[in-house]
Amino acid sequence: MVKKPKRRSKHVPRRTCVGCREVLSKRSMIRVVNGPEGVKVDITGKAHGRGAYLHDKRSCWLRGINGSLDHALRTRLTDQEKEDLRTFMENQLPEEELVQPGAEESSR
Ligand SMILES: [Zn+2]
């Protein structure tokens, strides 16, 4: 008799980042929700409304703010909402080291 492997009960929810389209576990994502009060960062992850996920990376947020969130949330972000998201990003997300093309060290 062959034992069937038990189906794993641990289900890891996966989400797509609307900034870069990478699919990752929910934990490394920040949820943005389009709720009754407009578009907001949903820190609890439980707010009602249509949600979209973004990495905790500034580049993904900028892409989201500049258009992909509009699409994902089926709305148009107001200037105020964009401003709020940008503020959140600046306060909460570490600055990324931007690798500039051509600035690589040529240590020979
Ligand atoms: Zn991303």
Q: Which of 77, 85, 75 is nearest to 30 (CA)?
A: 85
Task: Tell me if 19 sits within 8 A of 43, measured CB to CB.
Answer: no
Q: What pLDDT is recorded for position 12?
A: 76
Number of domains in the chain: 1
Q: What pLDDT is recorded for position 2?
A: 67
Q: What pLDDT is recorded for position 6?
A: 66
Quick one: what percent of the chain has pLDDT higher than 70? 81
- Dist. CA 54 → ligand 1 center (Å): 6
Q: Round to whole Å and give the CA distance between 7 and 96.
A: 40
Q: What's the pLDDT tens digit per position in 28-54?
A: 899 999 999 999 999 988 899 999 999
Examine residue 107 and state whether it is found in any structural domain, yes or no.
no
For residue 108, name the pLDDT band (cuts at 50, 70, 90).
low
If 0-12 CB within 10 Å is exposed, 13-18 middle and 19+ buried, where does residue 88 land?
A: middle
Examine residue 70 and state whether it is found in any structural domain, yes or no.
yes
Examine residue 99 and state whether it is found in any structural domain, yes or no.
no
Give the domain CATH number at 55.
Answer: 3.30.1230.10
- Dist. CA 95 → ligand 1 center (Å): 15
Examine residue 29 and state whether it is found in any structural domain, yes or no.
yes
Examine residue 9 and state whether it is found in any structural domain, yes or no.
no
Q: What range does the domain containing 73 cover?
A: 14-92
pTM here is 0.76
- Dist. CA 19 → ligand 1 center (Å): 5
Examine residue 98 and state whether it is found in any structural domain, yes or no.
no
Q: Round to whole Å and give the CA distance between 77 and 18.
A: 14
